[in-house]
């Protein structure tokens, strides 16, 4: 028994889905956690201030970039169009291809948004100098409770800041 075009299309769709799902776990906190630094922040002196956690709430952080936006839609539309082209013949095949592309694009867009969204935490800290600051970062191994003494690292002139114990 030889594989059909439809079998290859389904295999391609499953492979692309598995690869996309694998990418989601590869990046962890997508460089927005308390321990994530980019190359410009490494070996740079950063301001460190201390304070007390007054409140926190869980938020959603969208880490998609302008360069990655639309990839899920494009891949989904392509795969949906390929799968749709395996159905019917003549005008029916054309319609199935178009509907497959639209459906695949919508599914790919939804998957892209799901992958680029991650759980975050907004931590409000009363600094020792009396200022109140709110810093959002990805949820990682550190946990925070109201009353915790913490350090706010960075944040000079509105730059990147993180909260850590």
| 1-50 tens-digit pLDDT | 455 555 555 555 555 554 444 444 333 456 677 777 777 667 777 889 99
Containing domain of residue 52, as a range?
Answer: 5-164
Count: domains in the chain: 1
Mark out the alpha helices in 27-122 (DSSP H runs): 71-84, 91-116
Which of 159, 141, 130, 163 lies closest to 45 in space, CA to CA? Answer: 159
Asked if residue 121 lies in contact with residue 144, where contact means CB atoms within 8 angstroms, the answer is: yes
Residues in contact with 56: Cβ distance below 8 Å, sequence separation at least 6, in sequence order = 121, 122, 123, 124, 144, 146
| 89-121 tens-digit pLDDT | 777 777 777 777 777 777 666 555 556 688 899
How buried is residue 100: exposed, middle or buried, by Cβ count under 10 Å (0-12/13-18/19+)?
A: buried
């Amino acid at each position: 028994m030889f594989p059909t075009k439809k079998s290859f299309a389904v295999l391609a769709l499953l492979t692309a889905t598995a690869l996309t799902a694998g990418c989601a776990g590869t990046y962890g906190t997508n460089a927005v956690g308390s321990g994530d630094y980019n190359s410009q922040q490494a070996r740079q002196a950063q301001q460190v201030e201390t304070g007390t956690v007054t409140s926190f709430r869980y938020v959603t952080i969208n880490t998609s970039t302008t360069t990655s936006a639309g990839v899920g839609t494009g891949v989904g539309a392509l795969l949906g169009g390929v799968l749709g082209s395996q159905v019917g013949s003549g005008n029916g095949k054309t319609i199935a291809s178009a509907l497959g592309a639209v459906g695949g694009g919508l599914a790919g867009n939804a998957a892209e948004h799901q992958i680029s969204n991650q759980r975050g935490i907004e931590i409000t800290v009363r600094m020792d100098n009396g200022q109140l600051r709110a810093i959002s970062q990805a949820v990682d191994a550190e946990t925070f409770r109201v009353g915790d003494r913490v350090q706010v690292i960075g944040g000079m002139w509105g730059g990147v800041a993180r909260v850590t114990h």
